[in-house]
Amino acid sequence: MDTAVTPRWADRDILIPNELEQRQIFYMMKKGSSWTRWNRALGYYRKWAEIAENSVREADNSGLLAIPEKCYITYQRYVKILQGLAVYEEGVRRLRKGDRRVFLDSEAYAFFERAWLTVDYWQTFRDKVNIGDIRGGDDTPYWDGFIKALNDLCNAGEMGGFSLDAPNEPANLRYYLWHAVFLSRLPYPDPLPDLPERPKKDVIIATGEPVPFSGIWEPLDKDEDQLWGVMNYLHGETKAPTYRESFIDHSNEITGYGDDIIPVRWRLLWRDDRYLDGTIPEEEKDYIFVCPEPEGQERMFNADPLKYLKRHNLPNPFLVGACHRRGERVEGGEPCPRDGYWWSPANKSQGRIFRKGEIMPIITSREYAESYWLWGGETEKK
């Protein structure tokens, strides 16, 4: 069942992923919250710290550290990187035992957040160097390698539109342009697993109520048991967040959608009990990671969808046709639901007029994991 639009109980078209997209999002969120993902990123943190060590030692041996304006990487800054690495390693160690409090925003925990403070510092430092706000330091040994390792570390998590929501903040994972453009291009197992069966007895909490345990939860309309948006990963020992809904907004001629922050009810879809028994699920052996991207490959996870569409001369799927609705989508191989102009992102938007009942072509594309067509209006766009 395609639940892409829900005008029956809403006065506007809420953007909700269809059944296939829900399975894709669940898989990506489960992978993104896994020990395998965080342990993999730890390797990039260690590589970055190793280059920092090589840089500061060579600068010391050559006498460059005695001249402050000569080097960006000093022993003091190197020590900060080591401190961040130590905290990150502890977070990964605890997560391996199933302790998901490592994600909490508290003085006793927040291991990954604290480890990332040093990374944030260097990202800001890098940007200031690039625009000329920070001068000198041109003699810093291994500077280019240091920055590449930093960038690789920042991309290694490859979460993009699937970030684990920060505790006590609005749940930010909602369906928007990033997902419409990139979701089908991400790597998935074949076959892609179905969504898990929900608990026999629904576990439902409202915004502001305690989250009893970590896991993936679905937002529901506050008055009905209707899906209201995109599943999110909620953390145990926090309060259920508000939800940032997205909806079609044709008055926004840039993105085609708008969003609001609203209170919702959350229904448990999947409880995260991984690693408590001391084992790692078998599926994690088959996780595919593509970031940092190989040289020459275009970024996906942290890419700007508007820039991507413009660069490839593709239409914004939320703006195609004055009557375009999120639900007007048909898979390749299925009959066309009505006469009109249809286009597919898998063939670089080379659409055409189809007649009702005509079988929609299946397009083979390296960039898209599926072949689908979107409604573009009753007549071809010029």
Cα gap 221→202, rounded to integer Å: 15
> With 50 as the cut, is the pLDDT of residue 83 above it?
yes
Is the entire prediction scored with pTM above 0.85? no
- DSSP letter string, 12-28: S-B----HHHHHHHHHH
pLDDT score of 331: 83
**Sheet order of strands, 340-343 included:** 329-331, 372-375, 340-343, 352-354
**Average of per-residue pLDDT across 240-253:** 85
Selection from 358, 330, 324 nearest residue 344 by Cα: 330
Average model confidence (pLDDT) across the chain:
85
pLDDT digits (tens, 9 = 90+) for 85-96: 999 999 999 999
Q: 3-class DSSP state for residue 74?
A: coil
Give the largest CA-CA distance in the chain. Answer: 77
pLDDT band per the 50, 70, 90 thresholds, residue 163: low
pLDDT score of 376: 66
Residue type, 165: D
- DSSP letter string, 277-301: TS---GGGGG-----SPPTTPPP-T
Residue 330: exposure state from Cβ atoms within 10 A (0-12, 13-18, ≥19): buried
Selection from 369, 346, 366, 19 nearest residue 191 by Cα: 369
> With 80 as the cut, is the pLDDT of residue 345 above it?
no
- Which DSSP symbol is given to 192? P
The three state secondary structure string of 192-246 is CCCCCCCCCCCCEEECCCECCCCEEEEEECCCCCCECCCCEEECCCCECCCEEEE
Highest mean pLDDT among 33-42, 192-201, 241-250, 327-336: 33-42
Whole-number CA gyration radius for the chain: 23
pLDDT score of 380: 54
Cα gap 158→177, rounded to integer Å: 17
pLDDT score of 98: 96
> With 70 as the cut, is the pLDDT of residue 320 above it?
no
CB 112, CB 27: distance < 8 Å: no
CB 301, CB 291: distance < 8 Å: yes
Cα gap 381→236, rounded to integer Å: 49
Q: Give the pairing of strands 243-248 and 204-206.
A: unpaired
**Average of per-residue pLDDT across 144-170:** 80
pLDDT digits (tens, 9 = 90+) for 20-48: 999 999 999 999 999 999 999 999 999 99
Identify the weakest region by mean pLDDT among 143-147, 228-232, 281-285. Answer: 228-232
pLDDT digits (tens, 9 = 90+) for 261-302: 889 999 999 999 999 999 999 999 999 988 887 776 777 887
CB 363, CB 344: distance < 8 Å: yes
Highest mean pLDDT among 9-18, 40-49, 218-227, 246-255: 40-49
Q: What percent of the chain has pLDDT over 70?
A: 86
Residues present in the chain in total = 382
pLDDT band per the 50, 70, 90 thresholds, residue 11: very low
In sequence order, the 6+-apart residues with CB closer than 8 A to the CB of 312 are 348
> With 70 as the cut, is the pLDDT of residue 99 above it?
yes
In sequence order, the 6+-apart residues with CB closer than 8 A to the CB of 223 are none
pLDDT band per the 50, 70, 90 thresholds, residue 5: very low
Q: Tokens 């009942």 belong to which residue?
A: 357
Q: 3-class DSSP state for residue 244?
A: strand
pLDDT score of 363: 80
